[in-house]
Structures are given as C-alpha cells and as structure tokens.
Amino acid sequence: MGAAYFWSFLLRKVCKSQFRLHPKGHLGISEGCITIENMNDWTRIRAIFSDAPKVSVPGSALKAYAELIVS
C-alpha cells in the first residue's frame, strides 16, 4: 500500500487538499504531509486502511483511503 491520500481539510479558513499520510522519515522532515511519529502506530493505521474499501475523490478518477477532517 502506498501513502494514503486525503482529499481536503479546513484549518483557519484555509482549504488544503491532496495530503499524504505516511510514517515519519529518517530526516524527520515533513513538507505539508501528515506524518505518524511511531512506526507501531503507522503499522496499525495502515492495516485499518488496507482492509477498508476505498472512496471516490469528487471531481477526479482518484480513490482515497479516507477523508480527513481537521477542526
């Protein structure tokens, strides 16, 4: 499974889209992605997404593992 793509979220009245969710890299740098610090947590999240059906991304042919809403 590749990184999970999330379509959009609204934070401080700014709409952003197409985020990647992935484990923290060896450099510890994230440029706009959502990273998971603990590899055990990542493994659990990945298993949950792998077992779930993908959802259509509105306005495109892409499929997403989930929709992330940050409030």
Check residue 22 and give its pLDDT.
84
At 30-55, the pLDDT tens digits run 777 888 999 999 999 889 888 889 98
Helices and strands in the chain: count of H runs, count of E runs:
1, 5
- E strand or H helix at 51, and its extent? helix 39-51
Q: Which residue has the higher pLDDT, 60 or 28?
A: 60
Domain residue spans in the chain? 4-64
Token pair 């440029």 is at which residue? 31
Residues 39, 7: Cα–Cα separation, whole Å: 23
Q: Is this prediction's pTM over 0.75?
A: no
Composition of the chain by helix, strand, coil, percent to 5: 20, 35, 45
Residue 49 carries which DSSP code?
H
